[in-house]
Amino acid sequence: MWDSNAAANYVRQHAQSQSGGNCAKYVRKAIEAGGISVAPTLSAKDYGFSLRQAGFIELGDALSPRRGDVIVIQPIPGHPHGHMAMFDGSRWISDFVQNNGFYPGKEYRTQKPPYKLYRHH
């Protein structure tokens, strides 16, 4: 059974002070802490299928995220694996706390690559 509070608590408690390039691992472990097993993939950008297989549904946008929602962002130059993060109820967190929304850095915010938001149902 999905526990979005446990997942959000895990991602918040394990966040580092800055990105270590491990967003997919941290978010996957948070999902597992919430009671759902997700098949790992090599790149964050490829987690959509695994999330859908685990009972997450794809939503249209990230304007009103809920605790436990996961965003998968496509790659930009210099970041070939893309990015993923979880919403903890107030902020987006991957392997670090993202203080400027779901895009993890200035390059992402400038280029605005495509993304998909997922919510467990």
How high is the pLDDT of residue 43? Answer: 96
Return all residues near 26 (Cβ < 8 A) that are at least 6 apart: 11, 14, 15, 93, 94, 95
What values do phi and psi take at 43, rounded to 5?
A: -120, 145
> Rounded to an integer, what distance in angstroms lies between the CA atom of residue 115 and that of residue 82?
9
Q: What percent of the chain has pLDDT over 70?
A: 99
Q: Give tens-digit pLDDT for 49-108.
A: 999 999 999 997 767 899 999 999 999 999 999 999 999 999 999 999 999 999 999 999
How high is the pLDDT of residue 61? Answer: 73
CATH number of 4-120: 3.90.1720.10
> Rounded to an integer, what distance in angstroms lies between the CA atom of residue 86 and that of residue 111?
21
Going by C-alpha positions, the residue among 94, 117, 79, 78 that lies closest to residue 24 is 94
Query: What pTM did the predictor assign?
Result: 0.95
